[in-house]
Amino acid sequence: MTPWRSLLFIPALSSHMLAKAPTRGADALIIDLEDAIAPDRKAEARPAAVAAVTMLAAQGQQLLLRVNAEPATWQLDIAGLPGGALTAVMLPKAESGSAVDALASALAARFERPPAVVPLIENPRGLLAAADIAAHPAVMALGYGAEDYAAAIGVRATPEAVAVPAYHVVAAAHAFGRQCIGLPASIGDIADLEAFEAAVRKARAIGFTGSVCVHPRQVEIVNRGFSPTPEELDWARRLVAADDAALAEGKGAFVFEGRLADGPIVKRARALLEAARR
């Protein structure tokens, strides 16, 4: 599966947003049963989520469902879902590998081809267990919720509060070859798109591979920010060509445009070209 850059949240009860969702340009859509749904409307939202998943899957959309964190509630959230329509189920406030295993086991019992699990690290317990969570074989991506994490420790989502946990989540995800979804900043300020774009650039620079979006205006910024630039691709092509020539001469390291180039740098260049191909 092509890695996700942008994942757009769509409230399960928002018929207007659901109708326009396929036109927004997001790599994947997240039908939301958690934060976007008031507690007294969860029961109403579940059949709406089923209808939304069925409709959007028929249009070829990559779909996730964000369930509620409590097991008794997420069991109700997944009960009526159609088989084969979801790529993954997003588990908020994941705090342990056993929590992921409980959801993964329930999905395996419910579906012939169970969707993957995307746990969200959103509090200190989840952060401390991030490696154990990322290691679970059902996990295809690890998410980070900066705003939730800041709320869990009782502070605003400032760079000082959310940056170090973000680095930790990135390390845990990459240690097990998972995609890493999130920003080292809040995604909630939809008015200041320049600040949002700066956060996307920083996220990619520290190892995130994509981000969720809470507004359609954020999608294009995220897609652009997590895609190789033309300048990066031109550099990668030149470097790979130079590496091929060096290997033909039996060289493992070589001087490239004034700098020493060897395995790790070539690996990054080839990864950029592969990302562009996909």
CATH number of the domain at 6-225, out of 3.20.20.60, 3.40.50.2000, 1.20.120.80, 3.90.1170.50?
Answer: 3.20.20.60
Q: For 67-119, how does the pLDDT look when each residue is reduced to its tens digit (9 = 90+)? A: 999 999 999 999 989 888 999 999 999 999 999 999 999 999 999 999 999 99
DSSP 26: -
- Percent of the chain at pLDDT above 90? 77
User: pLDDT band at residue 254, thresholds of 50, 70 and 90?
Assistant: confident
Give the whole-angstrom CA distance, residue 203 versus residue 189. Answer: 16
- Percent of the chain at pLDDT above 70? 100
pLDDT at 228 over 90: no
What b/e readout covers 100-121, taking b as 16+ CB neighbours within 10 angstroms? Answer: beebbebbeeebeebbbbbbbb
CA-only gyration radius of the chain, Å: 20
In the prediction, which pLDDT does 1 show? 63
Mean pLDDT of 179-204: 94
- Tokens in use for 48? 């709406």
Domain residue ranges of the chain, discontinuous segments joined by +: 6-225, 230-277
Residues 6+ apart with CB under 8 A from 164: none
Q: How far is CA 179 from CA 35, 95, 119, 131, 211, in A?
A: 23, 18, 11, 13, 10
Q: For 6-18, how does the pLDDT look when each residue is reduced to its tens digit (9 = 90+)? A: 999 999 999 999 9
